[in-house]
Each structure stands twice: as structure tokens, then as C-alpha cells.
Structure 1
């Protein structure tokens, strides 16, 4: 009976892991789109960034936003590889 419980817990863990990978892949794809959009913006276009845990947006520097979005994308990719 203990082998049955161990098998079930392994399936549950594998299921959770695959769900986490799915969610992370979706976030990575979204972040790639954000990076591409920022990269393809004209130099004179305005960019606004949202403040954490708020609905308030402030004018931001396009290059800084692009850099931070790339950094976030890299972190997500590393996290996916660690799973």
C-alpha cells in the first residue's frame, strides 16, 4: 500500500510541475512580446510604467523599460531551466 501512496504523490508532484512550467512558459511568451514591442517603438514615443500593486502609471524611459523587461525575461528563462 505504501508503494501506491508513493506513486500517487509522484504523479501529483509531476502534475504540479507541469502546470508550473505551463504558466511560466505563458509568462515568458508574454514577456517576449513586451520586449519586442518596446524594441520596435520609435525613439520619440512615450512609455508609461505601472507602479507595483497599483493602477497608477508614470512616464518612464523607453531604454530603461526595455532593459528591465529583458532582465525579467532572462530571470524567467533561468527559472524555467531550474525546474
Structure 2
């Protein structure tokens, strides 16, 4: 009986560890994707001038569409949407 409890506890701990590892790996992959997208957006907007701030709006972004904005040194601001390598943008009013 004691061996069964130890085996059950070991199995549960193993599954818990596997779950935590999966969550950590997913976070790392999401962060790499985010960095790649930021680099693409920065390259795109570099031709417009010197970027002061580049941000992503996490509340409006989804897995398919990343939304954010770019503020330049001359206070010109653009909002953008990034979908599958395509960037749609508009100037803020």
C-alpha cells in the first residue's frame, strides 16, 4: 500500500514538472516571436525617421494580430497592426 502511494505521488510530481516545463517553453517561444515581430516593425518604420518609442498593446493584440504604436523624435505617431508579416499603419491624429 505504501509503495502505491509513493508511486502515485511520484507520478503526480512528474506530471506537474512536465506541465511547468511546457509552460516555460511556451513563454520562451512567445517571447522569441514577439522579439522577431518587434524587429520587423522597427526595420519597417526606420525609413520614416528616428524612432523614440515602439510599443505593443497587449490588451488589443491576439495570436494572429499584434497591435501597437511608434512614436518618432519629432512627435509624429503611427498606430500599426502586424498580421502574418504584413504591417498596416495609420498616423495618429
Q: Which interval holds the TM-score relative to the shorter structure? A: 0.5 to 0.7
Runs of at least 5 residues in structure 1 that lack an aligned partner in the other structure: 62-83
The aligned counterpart of 2:23 is 23
Q: Comparing both structures, which one devotes a greater share of its residues to strand? A: 2
Higher CA-based Rg? 2
User: What's the RMSD between the two structures over aligned residues?
Assistant: 2.9
Whole-Å separation in 2 of the counterparts to 1:31 and 1:48: 14
Q: Of 51, 54, 64, which aligns to 1:47? A: 54
Whole-Å separation in 1 of the counterparts to 2:56 and 2:10: 42
Whole-Å separation in 2 of the counterparts to 1:49 and 1:25: 22
SS of equivalent residue, structure 1 residue 36: helix
The aligned counterpart of 2:81 is none
Whole-Å separation in 2 of the counterparts to 1:33 and 1:60: 19
Whole-Å separation in 2 of the counterparts to 1:16 and 1:47: 38
1:21 deviation in Å?
A: 0.8
SS of equivalent residue, structure 1 residue 38: helix
1:34 deviation in Å?
A: 1.1
Q: TM-score, normalised by structure 2?
A: 0.47
Alignment of 1:1-80 (within 5 A): 1-40=1-40, 41-42=42-43, 43=46, 46-48=53-55
Q: TM-score, normalised by structure 1?
A: 0.52
Q: Which has the higher contact order (CA 8 A, sep 6+)?
A: 1
